[in-house]
Structure 1
Amino acid sequence: MFLRKVSPSFRYTPGLTNILQQTGLYQWCPSRTASSFDYIKRSKVPTYHFQKSLPRLPVPKLEDTCRRYLLSQKALLDECEFRSTEAAVKLFQEKEGPALHSKLVEQDNKNKHTNYVSEPWFDMYLKDRRAVVLNHTPFMTLINDHRPEYNEQLLRCTNLIVSSLRFMKTLEEKVLEPEVFHLNPKKSDTETFRNVVRWLPEAVSWYGAYMFNAYPLDMSQYKNLFRSTRIPRPEKDELLISPGSRHLLVMRKGHFYSFDVLDENGSIKPANEILAHLKYISQDSRPPTKYPVGLLSTENRDTWANLRPHLLAAGNEETLKMVDSATFVISLDCHSVETPMEMIETFLHGDGTNRWFDKSINPVISSDGRASINFEHSWGDGVAVLRYINETVKDSIERPAIHPGTEASTFVDSSKCVQHLDFNLDSKMKDAILKAKARFDDVTGTLEKDFLDYKGFNKSYVKGKKLSPDSVMQLAIQMAYYKLSSGKRAATYESCSTSAYKHGRTETVRSGTLATRKACEAIFNSPASVAEMSATLQDCSKAHFQLTKEAAMGQGFDRHLFALRKIAEQSGTLPGLFADPHYQLINHIILSTSTLSSPAIEFGGFAPVVPNGFGIGYVIEDERLGFNITTYKPHQNSSDMIAALEESLNTIHDILEGRRPL
């Protein structure tokens, strides 16, 4: 099974606060201090201390973008096709491109508070009229607690809620440790570093960190983690934040429940009180709702935008306000997820009835205590969500708010504290919900999933061969598709964070390179020696390292061309480059790939971005290596891809061992 073993070093001995909670006296204890319970950890350096001085995302030179674009196209096209695209690029670089580039630079100089691609990138998400589920809602499955007794559903749910609130409060009160990439942690991830940079003015603080060879990262996305939601609007959705809200939204059997998790002073409510409310909800005898309103969040965005005013006018204004303004939504599922395949299906989309996909984050807890985070993608990327997961999982395991045997509070009356949110639904809304369910079932019914837990080699082995582990995984993907498609090549996307820059989000690593093309041809189509095959692996690693480095530094070509195209669209005249069928081809992403490595995550996944594509989530670590694949029937087959990936990894292993592949 493709599961992570949890280190038993995550241990915590309950202190006075926890003992008081278990006895029910915590809420009456006058000595309760927020600093000991309400926070993850108080940072000496304020959360946004580096934000003002972060460097701005550079606008690449036009000639560099054109050169990089052609290199990527050359890996995909045959000689005749490439000559056609080369001519289109030459014309663009000499004629239309310079004027568009100058206008982009001019706009960038007028908006030094952000970067040149931030606004159009948000628009790209918010103007997308497709349903968010599958298209913009990835998931990450959390590790289990190494102590089985802590994985009981309500116990784990309570601990994750409290740890999430601790993270939220630590973030909102600006005492969360800033996100910093330490190139040499022994020298910079130290108290000396923190004591020095905390006293530097914000306007120069980044430069102080740089002197330690440490690189602060953008944290502007973090504000949308909590109390945040996506609101459907005609043509372009809205991101809404509700400051000061104190309640949690819980979904079970398609029903919505709400209760306060913060008191009037903003302090976290006692954990055994939260447990009492969850227990009350879990014992609610209501059958699954016949018309689950959560299904509306699975709809096409224009459809949902047209339905929302009708739902509001039917007397649901306050109810929707409670949904939209909740600190976050958590889903209590009534079934177990015992296998990776069940986890993928449940945590990626479920049956649609017990989710609110518009919410920024939607933790999901199965009946056997398995946990995952499903999140809406428009507001931010994996960096912010990963930090939230890392801190929350670690805190919930090392410092659990409740323990096995903790009694639910008897000092509160959950029947009065927990509000069941009733929606007034007329025939139009009921019909809309049933149609949403039918559409959801049709789409998810065509989605295939499969996974690979590979044991042949691991990350340390690859590094020992002087290769980039990520390049090896990406080469395996190229080899697998090459085999499946009888030698064809496909547009490939690998996400790379640009959070080293102000408001940075992502750049694309075009990991299907000339090097991977030559490697596939050498391995499958030529009498190359093992030494020659091994040399192609080295070339792939070098090319991949260079592309990743350029992307992280804002020197890819995708975001630059994206911004130039948006400016061209505003003028009403589209240059020939953007009408070139090969431009359409390179942006029709067949192989959409992403990886996130974390001790708190087992694996994650997402759906393909085009109907005939693959969604490829992967991990390569010392203890495991694997793939999570999604495809849409009948265009592709996930099991065939898994088999091809395993064969590709075996082939790479043979080459690295000096053996001729079978």
Structure 2
Amino acid sequence: MFRLKVNKWRFGTNLAGVRYATTTTTHGNHYQYLQNSKLPTLYFQRSLPRLPIPLLEKTCERFLAAVQPLLSAEEQRDTQQVVDQFRQGVGMELHARLKQSDEANKHTSYISQPWFDMYLSDRAPLPLNYNPLIVMRDDTRPAYQPQVTRATNLIISSLRFWRSLQANILEPEVYHMNPKKTNTDNYRRWMAISPKAFATYASYAFKAFPLDMSQYSRLFGTTRLPKLGKDELVQSADSKHILVMRRGNMYAMNVLDSSGYIESPSVILGRLKSILALDAQKQSASVPLGVLTTQQRDQWARARTHFVSNPKNADLLEREVDAALFCVCLDSEEDGMYNEADQVPLIKHQLAGKATNRWFDKSISLLISADGVAAVNFEHSWGDGVAVLRYFNEMYWDTQKQPFVSATSPHTPAEGDASNVRPLNFEIDDRTRADVEAAYAHNAEIVDSLDMNYLQYPHLTKGTCKHHGLSPDSIIQLAFQLAYRQAFKRYVGTYESCSTSAFRHGRTETMRPCTIATKAFCEAVLQPSQKQPSAVELRAMIDKCSIVHGQLTKEAAMGQGFDRHLFSLRHTAMLEGLPMPALFETEAYKRINYNIISTSTLGTDTVVAGAFGPVVKDGLGVGYSIQNEFAGAIVTSYKNQAQGKEFVDSLASAFEQILAIIEQSSKSAKAETRN
């Protein structure tokens, strides 16, 4: 499932200390490469530690602790018995087999292949179920915000990032505990003389933690192909073009020259303008093929098989669409524009919308509205938030620091240049037309059933939390628990993702924010006022919640959670045709994995919004952030399935209650000190 949360790993710091070559020609390093790192991009990859498989006993303990808030005392006792039997019996056998498999595949992690299999085998449609949305901060300079201008700069920055990655001169991804001390030339000099086999451990001595970069190679030129039963990822190593979509019409546009250099800014700008001019002369696509990528995956596989039975369609689809470096969707005014008073319509459109101007199978799609609002919608099977956020941040800051075109920049005319700007004219028969119509109707029905609610709470900020010595993430997760409990009178399975990219081929681990500590706090707050503990006592409970949250975060980041271990044990049983252990049939296991509240946060100033669909029909998809100005959340739900509006209203109340406790306890502490 999509979870962009990358606990504590911050991005954007790698720009410091990077030096560019002085040449300013379009074939010079300054233009062709985003960075010229002193350390090769994959310098630390060989020495990254392997993702540990937790002890079976610890996994069982953590599972029992996590399900306790969701179960009655009797259910907990029954679950304890099943877990004890699992730990002493079949669990030991499965654990041994998993360890044996892991030992035989030292080049990767125990979770990597099962996680790929999980994504690629799921038959659910990509939009809302998997593909997430990240909305970029606007360019506040009017000369750089217009659609075609911003698209050109974002394309160039994307290509500069990609070419740096290809040339192995993109800065390695490193989490610096103290960037001012370690994100320096001195640190890089010490790392450069460290043997590659031990470089990661040498970096640890500086309190700088290298992260896995194995997913980065699939950022560009990658497409998820629909196949019956299980999809396939394909990648083109020598692409020189991107896919551009406008009103459902599709164009292949070359962005690299015959030698593989990025075309000049005026050429890229001219080709984009020529596409807009071409498109203005025709109607919106009467059969928008991109809608097919919203289908259930087996349905799309069958539709695609028929479509490519026509050799011309097969050639165009494979050569121009599948092989494109990435997709650029230039939306028109009718698709919606930014409205500060109500951001929901545009975000909903970018997340899923009509899908007539999308190709959801591409690894990366840049979405740019008619007024220049930019976003990334990405296919999730190939990787997680570490790679996407790094690319997203570098692309944004590059366009801020050195945009290559403005609204007044001259362009190189490309009208009539059919070799570099190629309209994709597919041959569409009645079967494909019917497939598109059916896909459009089904997607429209799903999107119409999607409810989206947005909250900005200005009084609880990152600064507020830090001033009072509290973890911002633990506070906002506590607010989610309080909001759900007071609105719906129960506790439910809650999902928060944590990156395990500190390990080779790490993916994610699940954090379970609904704990005995959060439950105790919620129950105390919701007592009648005369029975409610004092503000100081409630603040102590908040501190306890924060400590527990921090410990769970640390365990997850170090590969010591329980979800991925149990997932892999279950996967091992299925893979080897063994009977499914009773543990995986318990109400406890089903309940905690039925994620009613699924959360994801984006810890970066370049992002103004993030959204994804609920992971279960009666659930809530909560994209949240706590910034210097506000705490905010975009909550998705399905109408008549879950009450997203009630949750958001309750969340505002939860923020108010938690803030009041923090402030009142602080006043009480100060008064006691004075006395």
TM-score after normalising by structure 2: 0.92
Which of structure 1's runs of 4+ aligned residues deviate more than 6 A? 15-18
SS of residue paired to 2:135: strand
- In the other structure, the counterpart of 2:400 is 397
SS of residue paired to 2:523: helix
Letter in 1 for 2:317: L
**648, 657, 661: which is aligned to 2:663?**
657
Letter in 1 for 2:167: E
The reply to whether residue 327 of structure 1 matches residue 325 of structure 2 is yes
Instruction: State how far apart, in whole Å, the 1-side matches of 2:181 and 2:22 are.
Output: 36
The answer (yes or no) to whether the contact 1:280–1:415 under 8 Å persists in 2 is no
The answer (yes or no) to whether the contact 2:326–2:364 under 8 Å persists in 1 is yes
Instruction: State how far apart, in whole Å, the 1-side matches of 2:540 and 2:210 are.
Output: 37
The reply to whether residue 144 of structure 1 matches residue 138 of structure 2 is yes
Q: How does 1:63-74 map to 2 (within 5 A)?
A: 63-74=57-68
Instruction: State how far apart, in whole Å, the 2-side matches of 1:473 and 1:213 are.
Output: 28
SS of residue paired to 2:545: helix
Instruction: State how far apart, in whole Å, the 1-side matches of 2:665 and 2:54 are.
Output: 43
The answer (yes or no) to whether the contact 1:337–1:346 under 8 Å persists in 2 is no
Instruction: State how far apart, in whole Å, the 1-side matches of 2:659 and 2:609 are.
Output: 23
String of CA shifts for 1:592-630, please: whole Å, max 9, x gaps.
001011121111110000000000011112223201100
String of CA shifts for 1:307-333, please: whole Å, max 9, x gaps.
212111123111111100001000000
The answer (yes or no) to whether the contact 1:46–1:198 under 8 Å persists in 2 is no
The reply to whether residue 268 of structure 1 matches residue 266 of structure 2 is no
The answer (yes or no) to whether the contact 1:132–1:376 under 8 Å persists in 2 is yes
Q: Please report how far the alpha carbon of residue 264 of structure 1 lies from its aligned counterpart in structure 2 after TM superposition.
A: 1.2
Letter in 2 for 1:643: D
The answer (yes or no) to whether the contact 1:34–1:267 under 8 Å persists in 2 is no
Q: Please report how far the alpha carbon of residue 411 of structure 1 lies from its aligned counterpart in structure 2 after TM superposition.
A: 7.2
Instruction: State how far apart, in whole Å, the 2-side matches of 1:501 and 1:34 are.
Output: 35
Instruction: State how far apart, in whole Å, the 1-side matches of 2:413 and 2:235 are.
Output: 34
Letter in 2 for 1:593: T
Q: Please report how far the alpha carbon of residue 436 of structure 1 lies from its aligned counterpart in structure 2 after TM superposition.
A: 0.3
Q: Please report how far the alpha carbon of residue 569 of structure 1 lies from its aligned counterpart in structure 2 after TM superposition.
A: 1.6
Cα distance, 1:33–1:279 mapped onto 2, change above 3 Å: closer
The reply to whether residue 300 of structure 1 matches residue 296 of structure 2 is yes
String of CA shifts for 1:133-175, please: whole Å, max 9, x gaps.
1111000000111202210010000000001000010111110
Q: Please report how far the alpha carbon of residue 94 of structure 1 lies from its aligned counterpart in structure 2 after TM superposition.
A: 1.0
Instruction: State how far apart, in whole Å, the 1-side matches of 2:52 and 2:332 are.
Output: 49
SS of residue paired to 2:625: strand
The answer (yes or no) to whether the contact 1:314–1:425 under 8 Å persists in 2 is no
- In the other structure, the counterpart of 1:545 is 550
Instruction: State how far apart, in whole Å, the 1-side matches of 2:548 and 2:559 are.
Output: 17
SS of residue paired to 1:502: coil
Q: How does 1:38-437 map to 2 (within 5 A)?
A: 38-283=32-277, 284=279, 285-315=281-311, 316-321=313-318, 322-335=320-333, 336-339=336-339, 340-410=343-413, 413-415=416-418, 417-437=420-440
Q: Please report how far the alpha carbon of residue 349 of structure 1 lies from its aligned counterpart in structure 2 after TM superposition.
A: 0.9
Instruction: State how far apart, in whole Å, the 2-side matches of 1:556 and 1:16 are.
Output: 48
RMSD, matched Cα: 1.6
Q: How does 1:496-645 map to 2 (within 5 A)?
A: 496-525=498-527, 526-570=531-575, 571-645=577-651
Letter in 2 for 1:41: Q
String of CA shifts for 1:211-253, please: whole Å, max 9, x gaps.
2221100000100100111011111111111001101110001
Letter in 2 for 1:328: F
SS of residue paired to 1:347: helix
Unaligned runs of 5+ in 1: 1-9, 19-30
Letter in 1 for 2:601: T
Unaligned runs of 5+ in 2: 1-15, 667-675
- In the other structure, the counterpart of 1:26 is none
Q: Please report how far the alpha carbon of residue 192 of structure 1 lies from its aligned counterpart in structure 2 after TM superposition.
A: 1.1
The answer (yes or no) to whether the contact 1:629–1:642 under 8 Å persists in 2 is yes
Instruction: State how far apart, in whole Å, the 2-side matches of 1:467 and 1:624 are.
Output: 16
The answer (yes or no) to whether the contact 2:34–2:160 under 8 Å persists in 1 is yes
SS of residue paired to 1:658: helix
SS of residue paired to 1:58: coil
The answer (yes or no) to whether the contact 1:273–1:412 under 8 Å persists in 2 is no
Q: Please report how far the alpha carbon of residue 637 of structure 1 lies from its aligned counterpart in structure 2 after TM superposition.
A: 2.2
Q: Please report how far the alpha carbon of residue 415 of structure 1 lies from its aligned counterpart in structure 2 after TM superposition.
A: 4.9
Letter in 2 for 1:342: P
Instruction: State how far apart, in whole Å, the 2-side matches of 1:214 and 1:289 are.
Output: 51
User: Which deviates more, 357-366 or 82-91?
Assistant: 82-91
Q: Please report how far the alpha carbon of residue 16 of structure 1 lies from its aligned counterpart in structure 2 after TM superposition.
A: 10
Instruction: State how far apart, in whole Å, the 2-side matches of 1:152 and 1:87 are.
Output: 63
Instruction: State how far apart, in whole Å, the 2-side matches of 1:411 and 1:16 are.
Output: 30
Instruction: State how far apart, in whole Å, the 2-side matches of 1:241 and 1:97 are.
Output: 38
String of CA shifts for 1:285-341, please: whole Å, max 9, x gaps.
211111110011110001111121211112311111110000100000002422321
- In the other structure, the counterpart of 2:8 is none
Instruction: State how far apart, in whole Å, the 2-side matches of 1:533 and 1:138 are.
Output: 36
Letter in 1 for 2:551: Q
The answer (yes or no) to whether the contact 2:253–2:421 under 8 Å persists in 1 is yes
Q: How many residues align?
A: 634
Instruction: State how far apart, in whole Å, the 1-side matches of 2:195 and 2:427 are.
Output: 54
Q: Tell me the percent identity.
A: 44
